[in-house]
Amino acid sequence: MKPINIYALTRITKPDDIMRLERQMSGRNSFMKVKPWEVDDLKMFAEKLLEIAKGPSVLRFYYSFVMPRLGKEFDLLRVGRTYVINVELKSRAVPHETVKKQLLQNRHYLSALGLNVYSFTFLRESGQLVRLSNSGRLIESDPEELMGLIEGQGKCFDGDIELLFREDRYLISPLTDPGRFLRKEYFLTWQQTDIKKKMLGRIKQAFEEGISPPIQGFTGYPGTGKTLLLYDLAMELSEKDRVCVFHFGSHEKELEELDDRLKRVDYYYCEENEDISPGQDYKVILVDEGHRLTYRSMGQIISLSKEWKAPVIISYDRENDIHPSEREFEGADIIEGVPGYTGYFLTNRIRLNSELSTFIRRLVHPGGGNHKREYPSVTLMYSQNEEETRTLLGILGGEDFFFIYDEEDFDAAQTGGYEEILPCIGAMEATCKEYDRVVMLIGPGFYYDDSGYMRYNGTDPSGTQICGRVRKLFHGLSRAKEKIALVIESDPELFEAVLSLLWPETK
């Protein structure tokens, strides 16, 4: 999306014509919806500036830009070498607190650019222009001040603005980047923010009315930001009360770093078959990787909640695309069966894009629906033996892929020598982490059953049926942000089935 000249755009008045002309000028991917009063706002603002501008050529702004994945919209933006100008347009009088809140939020989001931000609001009804001060106060301004800033920017960025808002600037994992998390160098999506608001509201109500503390939770597909939302809640709740996080995953080292640096939150690494025994009372209990909960551990958490009168918030996976026999854990059903439980579902993906998410879900459950689309970010390779697999992984290593392996295939300390040709990590250890590009290996034993689910037919050396391998494949591939690759070894039938997901037929 490119900047446009708002004077040129407002020479016409019909919203439909403006929509078409704006798309032609900005190069955005779809038509933006424009309401008549929004046209009036933009036209009056442009004419106010034109009264003092040296010419209309300086009235170039990114108009109605929406940050990728987050859905945060800005009416007008100009991005210079040292500072950014943001102007919000209002048709009617708006309470100052509302205006200030929006501009403060905008400045927070624009901080991802690493530049100073000058934030204004233009109120068409009164013709008033206000600015957010460095200290966060609203102060009177005028077109002369704004025009001085516009002219002082010099040559501005005029390329695709989405290039300036790369997701790695503001989408992080608390476990893989605790420093940025603790400095709050991240943003929540509107959906995460809405769920957070509802959860905190229920907790506040319980405290004020002296009623039973609520048990709440949220789930969602991989890449929807469950971990980030949980740890953001922990950090905010800890500003007033001492809180604890019970973690049932495999990130003891990362938790130790968070525990060491964020003193007001205590983290407990919980083993599946051990008692939960914190050393003190807490005002709020948070649970990460809740799908690993057992009836025993869930019962202990409920007992602690009643004893401390502490609300509970749980983050967990619900793996509907994976066959029940492959899921390993039953925590989701246990959580949702708790009397009085209130749950939320995250749908907006912030790490995993829709293309990769759709492919991964179809890979493990092709019978789950008919999704006709192409997958340019998916690479599929076939090897006839271990030697060819090594060669193919070497190729992918040269393309910056990260190999996530199933611990059933390799000893945890030795991945068949593959660690010499590309970075490797076990599927269990990779949980909650993220990588730009991920490759995984599928060997013999995987197949599709009559109901359309991917299954695994194999036993360990003792003859015990191995379960959970499809689950590891699903979650391992879901660690990717940009691209995934699959190497299928010694199974031509499975290769044909997966190839058909990419290209159902040739023409």
Q: For residue 507, is pLDDT > 60?
A: no
| 105-141 confidence digits (pLDDT tens) | 999 889 888 899 999 999 998 889 999 999 999 999 9
Q: Label residue 69 left, alpha or beta by phi (over 0 means left) and psi (-120 to 50 means alpha).
A: left
Please give the pLDDT value at position 358.
87
Rounded to an integer, what distance in angstroms lies between the CA atom of residue 212 and that of residue 312? Answer: 11
Arithmetic mean of pLDDT over the chain? 87
The model's confidence at residue 45, banded by pLDDT at 50, 70 and 90, is very high
Instruction: Tell how far CA 80 is from the center of its chain.
Output: 28
Q: For residue 457, is pLDDT > 90?
A: no
- 132 forms bridges with which residues in the sheet? 138
Scan for tokens 């650019």, then name that residue: 113
Q: For residue 412, is pLDDT > 50?
A: no
Each domain of the chain, given as residue ranges in start order, spans 4-165, 178-346, 354-502
Superfamily (CATH) of domain 354-502: P-loop containing nucleotide triphosphate hydrolases (3.40.50.300)
Residue 156, C-beta contacts closer than 8 angstroms, at least 6 positions apart: 3, 60, 78, 79, 80
SS (H, E, C) 231-281: HHHHHHHCCCCCEEEEECCCCHHHHHHHHHHCCCEEEEECCCCCCCCCCCC
| 221-243 confidence digits (pLDDT tens) | 877 889 899 999 999 999 988 99
Rounded to an integer, what distance in angstroms lies between the CA atom of residue 453 and that of residue 368? Answer: 8
Please give the pLDDT value at position 312.
97
Instruction: Tell how far CA 323 is from the center of its chain.
Output: 26
The reply to whether domains 178-346 and 354-502 share a CATH topology is yes
Residues 318-338, mean pLDDT to the nearest whole number: 85
Tokens of residue 493, six digits: 């039938």
Residues 293-321, mean pLDDT to the nearest whole number: 92
Please give the pLDDT value at position 413.
45
The model's confidence at residue 382, banded by pLDDT at 50, 70 and 90, is very high
Q: Label residue 445 left, alpha or beta by phi (over 0 means left) and psi (-120 to 50 means alpha).
A: left
Residue 477, C-beta contacts closer than 8 angstroms, at least 6 positions apart: 356, 360, 363, 404, 438, 440, 484, 486
CB of 182 closer than 8 Å to CB of 254: no
The model's confidence at residue 463, banded by pLDDT at 50, 70 and 90, is low
CB of 64 closer than 8 Å to CB of 78: no
Please give the pLDDT value at position 250.
66
| 12-40 confidence digits (pLDDT tens) | 888 888 888 999 999 988 888 878 788 88
Q: For residue 86, is pLDDT > 80?
A: yes
Please give the pLDDT value at position 499.
93
Residue 125 CB neighbours (<10 A): 12
Please give the pLDDT value at position 140.
95
Rounded to an integer, what distance in angstroms lies between the CA atom of residue 92 and that of residue 37? Answer: 10
Q: For residue 325, is pLDDT > 70?
A: yes
More confident residue, 461 or 450: 450
More confident residue, 310 or 54: 310
Rounded to an integer, what distance in angstroms lies between the CA atom of residue 76 and that of residue 6? Answer: 9
Return the closest-CA partner of residue 283 out of 268, 262, 305, 302.
305
Residue 336 CB neighbours (<10 A): 14
Q: Give me the DSSP letters along 354-399.
A: HHHHHHHHHHH-GGG-------TTEEEEEESSHHHHHHHHHHHHHT
Residues 351-364, mean pLDDT to the nearest whole number: 83
Return the closest-CA partner of residue 49 out of 5, 15, 96, 1.
5
CB of 128 closer than 8 Å to CB of 156: no
Rounded to an integer, what distance in angstroms lies between the CA atom of residue 4 and that of residue 58? Answer: 10
CATH fold group of domain 178-346? Rossmann fold (3.40.50)
Residue 396, C-beta contacts closer than 8 angstroms, at least 6 positions apart: 379, 381, 403, 422, 437, 439, 485, 487
Q: For residue 168, is pLDDT > 80?
A: no
Q: For residue 381, is pLDDT > 60?
A: yes
Torsion of CA 136, 142, 143, 149, to 10 degrees: -40
DSSP secondary structure letter of residue 185: -
